[in-house]
Structure 1
């Protein structure tokens, strides 16, 4: 697995140049957010206004843990928006294997098309959690459930708008940030400045890696727009928010603003994480999301089942 302290800075330099060039263009990336309050998740439909080509970032499949029922209201809202605006979906982007919601990417893909992508380190997550869930040899653990496995510095495009992928592990081994035009979709690395940063205590997580990944993102130009995957309304704030800038994070983030060094961050993050309960949906979410959002195959009675490993996490 890549160590951010030794990552080649060339992808970061190229991303910064892309951001500056895209910020000067008239044809900038259009971003529409869809916030799912039950899971505090922000999903995005993004598109190139010139070509109407689009991507969907971190979609949500509705899931009621008490009844075990899934539904598609959140995904259907995204599908309706795409159709209403005449967009063509080229990409379904996952920032990582989420532990707080189930991905709706396969459902949306069946309706709208597009390639489903995630970071190559999803293979590490599949191996770790494949053992936790005691999945047998039928679970390949090679990332083949996804159409594209991105590596640090890989490039693609949304219409005519250039995009680059940055590997930002720490929250999980597989976290990726997507730099698209002058915008960055950070996944779970960062929250709004008044709420701080992601936890790093999941299997494969590492607070020291998270610090370096975040500082890597915060080396991008101050004007870079950051779109976050979650918001939990920090104390004293009454509304949800999911857009900020590199400059705001560097100046104001309560966990990792300029002047906070690695040792202080690691101590804070480790101490804080030890007080946090596991996300309510981590067990159903991870076993579905590491399969690219695909639900388990029905058993002989026609029903699907999720596993709950006891006394493990």
Structure 2
């Protein structure tokens, strides 16, 4: 259980934006007591086959923030995503705000800096971000006090962000009928993921949980909000008192059957740079495709 006091009376106003191309849910989170807001896990659109990036998804969030006269204070990444590209720099250029991620981003940068054969000009110290969060760190969105819980396992840099009665869990958990995220990426660990999930499930039963992804299992409509109580009771991977050993066995066997995300190569190159697209020696935006590297 977290040592931070949790004020369940603070009920942030949350607008979700679903991206059907990557099954990602981004959020605009407004402090109920002011005009301040945050964005969680933004998406930059990419037509990978054509090598073209656009910003329709981000523009929709920007339009809401500008239309309601809100002040963007934070652009949060719950982790370094392997399945979509962040639009954080584009949003920051338009609206301001600080870009924040977990401090273990440095491990991601070190690992994938080698895989993508990045030179010494690629800084591996997290300096591309405005704030590197550590476990238990606090920050504010307007008058709303927020804090972070270190929840690794899917990646080494995963963090859960708690804002009032809402927690944004990244890929640590899916909806109850979706289970949990894979743990076989570099630095992932099924046992560590189980432990992180228990941290999330130790939050108050009525805490609202917001997912980063949903795939509509068994053909149901896309969903992204549930509660701690629902996850504890019904999550198909960890609910109902499933043990750590049961989870590790299931998760390890399941992960062996999964293909790599189709956007993992562009996503990692961009997201480990806080959403900036890498360039070649002439300054032109350019992505690499490492062969047999992942």
Alignment RMSD: 1.0
1:160 aligned residue (112, 118, 143)? 143
**Matched residue, 2:24:** 41
Distance in 1 of aligned mates of 2:78 and 2:257: 25
1:236 Cα deviation after fit? 4.2
What is the match of residue 250 of structure 2? 268
Match of residue 208 from structure 2:
225
Measure the CA separation in 2 of the matches of 1:43 and 1:192: 15
1:38-187 correspondence runs (5 A): 38-187=21-170
Kept after mapping to 1: 8 A contact 2:206/2:228: yes
What is the rounded CA distance, in whole Å, between the counterparts of 1:219 and 1:50 in structure 2? 27
CA contact (8 A) 2:279 2:287 kept: no
- Counterpart Cα distance in 1 of 2:96 and 2:206: 33
Is the aligned partner of 1:254 residue 2:244? no
Spell out the pairing of 1:24-35 with structure 2 (5 A cutoff).
Answer: 24-25=9-10, 28-35=11-18
Tell me the alpha carbon deviations over residues 160-207 of structure 1, each in whole angstroms, 9 at most, x when there is no partner.
111000010000000000001111000001001001000000011000
5+ residue gaps in structure 2? none
**Inter-partner Cα distance in structure 2 for 1:277 and 1:75:** 28
Residue 276 of structure 2: aligned partner: 294
The answer (yes or no) to whether the contact 2:9–2:164 under 8 Å persists in 1 is no
Q: Secondary structure at the match of 2:291?
A: coil
Other structure's SS at 1:235 match? helix
Structure 2 Cα separation of the partners of residues 266 and 298 of structure 1: 41
> Residues 296-311 of structure 1 correspond to what in structure 2 (within 5 A)?
296-300=278-282, 303-311=284-292
Number of equivalent positions? 294
CA distance in 2, matches of 1:270, 1:136: 34
Alpha-carbon displacement from aligned partner over 1:109-128 (angstroms, at most 9, x marks no partner): 00000000000000000001
User: What is the distance in 1 between the residues matched to 2:101 and 2:50?
Assistant: 29
Could you say what secondary structure the match of 2:175 adopts? coil
Shift of 1:250: 0.3
Q: In the superposition, relative to structure 1, how do residues 259 and 49 fare at CA in structure 2: closer, same or farther (>3 Å)?
A: closer
Question: Aligned partners of 1:283, 1:312: CA distance in 2, in Å?
Answer: 10
Three-state SS of the structure 2 residue aligned to 1:13 is coil
Residues 135-180 of structure 1, C-alpha deviation per residue, up to 9 Å, x if partnerless?
1110110000000000000001111111000010000000000001
- Residue aligned with 1:74, SS: helix
DSSP-derived class of the 1:75 partner: helix
Distance 2:169 2:115 in 1: 27
SS state at 1:76 partner: helix
Alignment partner of 2:3: what SS? Answer: helix
Correspondence 1:240 to 2:222: yes
Report the 3-state secondary structure (helix = DSSP H, G, I; strand = E; otherwise coil) of the residue aligned with 2:205.
coil
Deviation (angstroms), 1:303: 3.0
